[in-house]
Amino acid sequence: MTTDTDVKTDKVEKHGFQAEVSRLLHMMVHSVYSEREIFLRELISNASDACDKLRYEALTTPDLLKEDPELQVSLTLDEKAGTLTLSDNGIGMSHDELISHLGTIARSGTSAFMEQMAQKSDGKDKKDAGSMIGQFGVGFYSVFMVSENIEVTSRRAGADESWTWHSDGIGEYTLAPAAKATRGTDIVIHIKDDAKEFLDEHRLRNIIKTYSDHIALPITLVMDKDGEQKSERVNEGKALWTRPKSEITEDQYKEFYHHVGHAMDDPWMTLHYKAEGVLEYTVLMYVPSQPPMDLFDPARKSRSKLYVKRVFITDDCEDLIPGYLRFMRGIVDSQDLPLNISREMLQNNPVLAKIQSAVTKKILSELEKKAKKDPEAYATFWKSFGPVLKEGIYEDFSRRDQLMKLARFETTADKGLSSFDDYIARMKEGQETIYYITGDNINVAKRSPQLEGFRAKGIEVLYLTDAVDDFWLQMVPEYDGKKFQSVTKGVADLEDKKGDDKKDDEKKENTPEIDALIGVLKTNLEGVVKDVRLSNRLTDSAVCLVADDGDMDIHLQRILQQHQQLQETSLRVLEINADHALIKAVAAAAAKDGSVNALKDSAQLLLDQARIMEGELPEDPTAFAQRLSAVMTQSLK
Ligand SMILES: Nc1ncnc2c1ncn2[C@@H]1O[C@H](COP(=O)(O)OP(=O)(O)OP(=O)(O)O)[C@@H](O)[C@H]1O
């Protein structure tokens, strides 16, 4: 993305920040954020990523590393000048990369985040804005919380030129040619007056230890001691996942999660193990506690990182983790893949396919354990990630059974989240079917008239209200030998079910009036509905619409229509409730001569009523309003 106000003068170029960056910088400086020290973690994290990227490029172009093979990060403290300088000898940034990486935010979800932040930081909720910064992980830009201005001088590995990016974080930045002799990036931070604590050697050592101990690179602190420059290695510099579990503290796991997942929340679950056998690999994966912002991005990208023998290969590998586990963050480090594997070679790679299958199985079985051990915590997980995990029921045949066991749903029994097994255990005597209703959200589904008869008989119905539900239901006809049945489709087989209330068990018989009404409605609504019949599922409402047995469920049809994915739609069946006062009244009128014409408007009004209860508009809203007005006028005369 280029910026809007690019001006070049004598090689010093002025650039405007992308609007989102300006807003972010403004909000960061003006909101109350107590953990300002995270800027250092963010910069060290970027430096470590830059070294990882170089190590990967050097696999195919070894010359890039030749002159300076020891990858490292250093932090130089100059108390007198009031500066901190963070240097790395990683991949570096070219002129254009400085512009695109340090002048824009390309991450999806940024605009939505900005809007929420703007509301909070403009109002009284400055503290909340601060905690949102924490959640978003503003990366490089967080340095402006502690600095007057900063200079980034960078030389891309393999390039001859270098550039200095300079900004005080207000509106614009400059770029000027530099004379950096070696590859990598130096960031000079001019510390603000109110942030002098970050010029304190002990404080710095502590921050690096806390936040960056897991970084697999040496980090040194360079200081002036009695006129002499001293440097001291601060972290262990060993990849965290290679260390034994017993030696890793919870905080170290957490910090690594923040680094690897570019996340700021705490991990909800941590999975660290080494597989040995035919294939050898180490896994350190996390389930976040908060849904990442790009969770529903159509690209469905996984952010997990692939390493080969501790060398970072890619964080953009479709075959490492299935799309329905894209919320996982972490790494897989393989011993068996060749080090010089290119990202293209990873596609359809049999070793990777085996790793993916085994890792997926392990993640799902760990989730299963969690679900058993702590159902409440699992319910929180499910609320965030269930809709994503359910995509697997649709697309991963080999794991379908395992995923179905993990699935949870709200039901008409109002018992919180239930599994299919919970539902089956509560089924009524003689019930052989798992009933469900799909809908845009649970509140809409709860109001559906089609549920009335099921409620009256105490038969539990599952609310399936994620868009993905309509799709997996097409692929999965049953669970544990029990067929799935939509309550908005086919004839409701409620007659043989014993209800809680005896009265409801009586079989509904057509009277001559009802037969006459059905005839009148069929004639008047020909071509608009597929059929008209007496309902078994209504108790309170007069009418409802259902899909015929072999047809597509109403909700799915609506979704596909909205996305222009449907060539032909099927007509619905209009069901009428013989016990309803309105139906009784119209039925009496239907038994009279000439009723087909006389009841034209009533027929249309009944259909429109059913449509409105489905959340749809009447076919012709103006005609509907006219008919309703006429009926009201008549009744008030
Ligand atoms: N020291 C560095 N060397 C090379 N490139 C860097 C360096 N620091 C930052 N970058 C580049 O700038 C980009 C933006 O960094 P920034 O920290 O804002 O975001 P991020 O690291 O991509 O994500 P997050 O905000 O989650 O940390 C990085 O993705 C990287 O490409």
Q: Which residues sit in the known binding site?
A: 42, 46, 88, 93, 108-109, 135-140, 185, 343
Contact indicator for 179, 14 with CB cutoff of 8 Å: no
- Please, is 555 exposed, middle or buried when counting C-beta atoms within 10 Å of its C-beta (0-12, 13-18, 19+)? buried
Kindly report the pTM of this predicted structure. Answer: 0.78
Protein residue with least CA distance to atom 31, ligand 1: 101
Higher pLDDT residue, 80 or 34? 80
| pLDDT at site 32 | 59
pLDDT at 3 over 50: no
Q: Angle at the Cα of 15 (from 9 to 16), degrees rounded to 5? A: 145
Q: Which of 270-274, 338-342, 515-519 has the lowest mean pLDDT?
A: 338-342
At residue 2 the predicted structure's pLDDT band, cuts being 50, 70 and 90, is very low
Q: Both tokens of residue 371? A: 């679900």
CA–CA separation, 213 and 250 (whole Å): 12
Best of 24, 49, 95 for a ligand 1 pocket test (most atoms within 8 Å of beta carbon): 49
Protein residue with least CA distance to atom 27, ligand 1: 139
| pLDDT at site 76 | 96
CA–CA separation, 117 and 569 (whole Å): 43
- Say if domain 240-381 classifies as CATH 3.40.50.1980: no
SS3 233: strand
| Domain residue spans of the chain | 13-233, 240-381, 409-636
601-610, pLDDT tens digit by residue?
Answer: 999 999 999 9
**What CATH number matches the domain at 409-636, 2.40.50.140, 3.40.50.11260, 3.40.309.10, 3.20.20.100?**
3.40.50.11260
Mean pLDDT of 369-396: 96
Kindly give the distance from the C-alpha atom of residue 154 to the centroid of ligand 1, in angstroms, as a whole number: 13
| pLDDT at site 225 | 78
pLDDT at 129 over 70: no
| pLDDT at site 66 | 87
Protein residue with least CA distance to atom 25, ligand 1: 139
Q: What is the CATH number of domain 13-233?
A: 3.30.565.10
CA–CA separation, 256 and 147 (whole Å): 26
490-511, pLDDT tens digit by residue?
Answer: 877 776 666 555 454 455 667 8
In short, whether 140's Cβ falls inside 6 Å of ligand 1 is yes
165-218, pLDDT tens digit by residue?
Answer: 999 988 899 999 999 999 999 999 999 999 999 999 999 998 988 878 788 899
Q: What is the mean pLDDT of the chain?
A: 88
CA–CA separation, 117 and 21 (whole Å): 13
269-300, pLDDT tens digit by residue?
Answer: 999 999 998 999 999 999 999 988 778 887 88
In short, whether 261's Cβ falls inside 6 Å of ligand 1 is no
Q: Which residues sit in the known binding site for ATP?
A: 42, 46, 88, 93, 108-109, 135-140, 185, 343
Could you identify the atom of ligand 1 that is nearest to the CA of residue 138?
25
Phi, psi at 560, each rounded to 5°: -65, -35
In short, whether 90's Cβ falls inside 6 Å of ligand 1 is yes
